[in-house]
A and B are shown apart, each in its own frame.
Chain A
Amino acid sequence: MRIASMNFFQGSLSGILNNQSSMAYLNQQIAADQSILQPKDDPLATEKILDLSTRIAARTQYSANQTKAQIGLEYESTVLTELSTTLTNTRSALAGMGSDFDPAVLNAGAEEVLSQARHILDLINTQDPYGNYIFGGFDTVNQPYANPLDGTATATTYGGTPNPGGTRSIQVDVGRSIQVNDNLDGVVQSGVAGNDLLQQLDAAVAALQAGTVSQTQLDGWVAVIDTALDNLDRISQRVASAYSEVSAVADTTKSLLTQEQNALSDILKLDQTSAIVALQSRQTALEAAEQAFGMTSGLSLFNYLG
């Protein structure tokens, strides 16, 4: 077959150029450690990659939200346990009193109850590390429960948002939120006439200090604390179940996150070994093409014409 002299050279040239561009691309892949350098390298995988990336980003955020919720619930749980202990101690102090006790003993009891009551007041007005009142509902700025504990039998006033509108939630998954705070209206029994926890404790302290107390009074105060403990128990249980729900969701999130990250990595990750092998074989082909050019370029009949 007749061959044009230009083709004779061109054949090696296109071989050299093709191998060089393949090698450049493989080099880029290896340097970036990615099989897909830009979407057009694999259009079918593009949408999957972007959707996975978005899902991973959202799930990472949900994971952060879950941690935030867990920390909040743990914090609340600690405070509630402490509150329960304090209420129980107060209850024991009052239950251990009798109307026939010596006034000096009753006075000592008054000190005990007052110090517990002050602790209760501190606990129901707990602030988180950022200064937010955790039992204040949406009003995180103002102290939710006020009672001077000055023996004047003032009712406890609640400054927060009324239940149930004032509970905050955190989104822990798509369309799934967890309540992360509570108010202690049920415990404090604020607004419940004659049953207001701190008002009763205030009255108890006043009576014990005066040294005169009836058994009926003592029984009444213990009953108010029992109601408070019952209600507190319900809140503690809600917090505990919310915490375990978040933990369960967090486990699912973590395993899905791992799956999605693996899936993304499977698509994007470059198989280094095969890339190196491909590079090697391209290099061999390039060298062959170059050698072929070297061998053919010198061939000319004119060399033999004297």
Chain B
Amino acid sequence: MGSGILGVALSGLSAAQAGIATAEHNISNANTVGYRRQEVTFSALSPQYTGSGYFGTGVGVDTVRSIYSQFLDSEVRLNQSQLSRNQTYTSYASQVDSLLGSDSSSLNTALDSFFAAVNELANDPTSNAARQVLLSSANTLAGQANTLYTQLQGYITASNAEVSGLTSQINTYTGQIAQLNGDIAKAEAGGGGTANDLRDQRDQLIGELNKLVDVSVVEQSDGTLNLFVGSGQSLVVGTNAYTMSTTTDPNDSSLLIPTLNVGGTVVTLDTGLITGGQLGGVLAVREEVIQPAQEDLDRITLSFATEFNALHTAGLDLNLAAGGDFFTNPVTGAAGNSGVLTLSLGNDLNLQNSDYSLTYDGTNYTLTRLSDGTAFTGGLAAVTASEGFSLSLGTTTAAAGDSWTINLKGYAGDMAALITDTSKIAAAGATADGPGDNSNALALAALQTQSFLNNGTVTFSSAYAQTVSRTASLAAEADLNVQTFSSLTDLATAAQQNVSGVNLDEEAVNLVRFQQAYQAAARALQVASSLFDDLLGVLG
């Protein structure tokens, strides 16, 4: 009975110590990201039976458990992944938006000035000043198109670097998660409770990984977690992490896209598979904003330059000689060609975003789409039929061995004003008999208000305005998504923290509570001890 008294007091001391240690652990980790507060659970030890009934034998420490809600944890992860996606998306989209829309870099500003200069030429066809202004505004226009395209290409390059940086960061996280999977499985193997702190670390890493790419998590019976991306491609299985890498997009050599090596099988992860996290954001903004803007610029500048060249070459210059190409001709013939080809764009401008090579063997033409190597053989009209443009020989005749290159992709980046001599501007009509004829200049000026794009429904300026507008909508949508997911993430995090986070006041109360329990148990020990002393005194 006596040892019983001491034992009960001792169990109280140990329990109070465990409570104090856990409160201290919580206090120490109050600011540790991903830490979940821990709690000791106690229960009364098995009672001892005597003739007068059951007597308690003290308290035992059952386990230390983390306090968490799986639902709230996954809410945080899901929202955080979408938040990261949209933050990345908007960081690019916002730059493209401001690039295309600012007055100083807008293509429309340059188009407006250019057509004003064409009007001045029409007003004063023999004025050297008017001709000079036209040449310099043509250079400005071409330069503006080049700058816009190059800048967009810069965003593509930045996105490639980001894709490749993200994949190696992902590999670091998945490696660590696989490692922790092993540690946790080992620690929990004996059935001695859960490895709370290791699990917290692993969940924290999964949270960080989710900011980079959206993963789904499946818990296994041994405490390990398996991670999957996309439509179920394994990223981490048990202690194995599969490596992500990058490869060149087979449809567009300027793009890097992520891949996943699942046990020797390399899977390409495109926008259809990766929808969240920073990686999802980069892939989406590239596909929805940057590339379409480049393609639009190509379409607008190609349409503008071919229409302008067609009129300009039909007119006569100051010396009444036939006008030449005013802007870069997308078609280049090889030296020694007999046939001279002129490009016309289809009404729908449904271009394939590629450059081409064309050869003639005396019977058939062979047109090769350089982006994917598709080749068409046959007559001149047949080979270009599906490509959104057509070619004509005019009055020339092609000879066997003639070859051409047709540069459509990136035309906005390559476009240049070719005329440098003011007298070579063809302001006069084809039948002019004096330099004062301004009929061709009037025709050129009228291009400003004619609709060539979108099946002949919009002018060059309106087409550009539509591009800016579309980019603006996507950027604004991403901004709005950032706000939404930011507050959703904040709410979910707050809710999750209210369950799992440490409250210092609560821990202060716990400390006091267990301190008093400890003092009481110590007092009980003292009482038991004095009982023994009294007994020994009686005997002595």
Contacts and interface: CB of A to CB of B under 8 A. Distances in A.
Given A51-B461, A54-B461, A132-B126, A160 B475 contact: no
Contacts of B108: 50, 53-54
B508 to A, nearest CB: 4
Interface in B96-117: 97-98, 100-102, 106, 108, 111-113, 115-116
Contacts, number: 180
A53 B115 CA distance: 14
Q: Which of B102, B120, B465, B479 has the most CB of A within 10 A?
A: B465
A21 B356 CA distance: 49
Contact of B123 (A1, A50, A65, A300): A65
Given A47-B466, A137-B434, A68 B126 contact: no
A217 interface: no
A43 B437 contact: no
B512 A305 contact: yes
Given A2-B498, A50-B468, A305-B512, A40 B442 contact: no
B374 to A, nearest CB: 36
Given A140-B126, A170-B122, A4 B503 contact: yes
A5 B465 contact: no
B448 A5 contact: no
A58 interface: yes
B432 A138 contact: yes
Contacts of B449: 58, 174-175
A109 interface: no
B472 interface: yes
B497 A6 contact: yes
Contacts of A161: 433-434
Contacts of A2: 498-499, 503, 506
Contact of B436 (A41, A64, A139): A139
Contacts of A65: 119, 122-123
Interface in B436-474: 436-439, 442, 445-446, 448-449, 459, 461-462, 464-466, 468-469, 471-473
A301 B111 CA distance: 69
A177 interface: yes
A50 B465 contact: yes
Given A39-B101, A50-B469, A138 B434 contact: yes
Nearest to B123: A68
Contact of A46 (B472, B498, B506): B472
Nearest to B449: A174
Given A171-B445, A175-B449, A177-B442, A39 B498 contact: no
Given A54-B461, A137-B436, A39 B469 contact: yes
B122 A50 contact: no
Given A39-B97, A130-B127, A171-B119, A140 B435 contact: yes
A138 B503 contact: no
A61 B502 contact: no
A274 interface: no
Contacts of A130: 124, 126-127
Contacts of A140: 126, 434-436
Interface string A126-138: 0000101000111
A166 interface: yes
A31 interface: no
A169 B112 contact: no
A237 interface: no
A1 B498 contact: yes
B30 interface: yes
A7 interface: yes
B115 A46 contact: no
Contacts of B138: none
Nearest to A305: B508
Nearest to A140: B436
A6 B501 contact: yes
B448 A58 contact: yes
A192 interface: no
Nearest to A52: B465
Given A61-B119, A138-B428, A40 B476 contact: yes
Contacts of A5: 30, 501-505
A71 to B, nearest CB: 10
Contact of B476 (A11, A41, A141, A160): A41
B490 interface: yes
Nearest to A139: B434
A39 to B, nearest CB: 3
A51 B465 contact: yes
Nearest to A138: B434
B512 to A, nearest CB: 7
A47 B435 contact: no
A168 B505 contact: no
Given A50-B468, A61-B115, A68-B124, 17 more contacts: A2-B503, A5-B504, A7-B497, A14-B490, A40-B93, A46-B468, A47-B466, A51-B465, A58-B448, A64-B120, A130-B127, A141-B435, A161-B434, A166-B434, A168-B125, A169-B439, A171-B119
15 contacts: A4-B497, A4-B498, A6-B31, A38-B472, A39-B471, A40-B473, A41-B476, A42-B476, A43-B473, A54-B112, A65-B123, A140-B434, A175-B446, A301-B508, A302-B508
Q: Which 5 A-B pairs rank lowest in CB-CB distance, beginning with the nearest?
A: A4-B501, A139-B434, A138-B434, A39-B472, A140-B436
Interface of B: 30-31, 93-94, 97-98, 100-102, 106, 108, 111-113, 115-116, 119-120, 122-127, 428, 431-439, 442, 445-446, 448-449, 459, 461-462, 464-466, 468-469, 471-473, 475-476, 479, 490, 494, 497-506, 508-509, 512
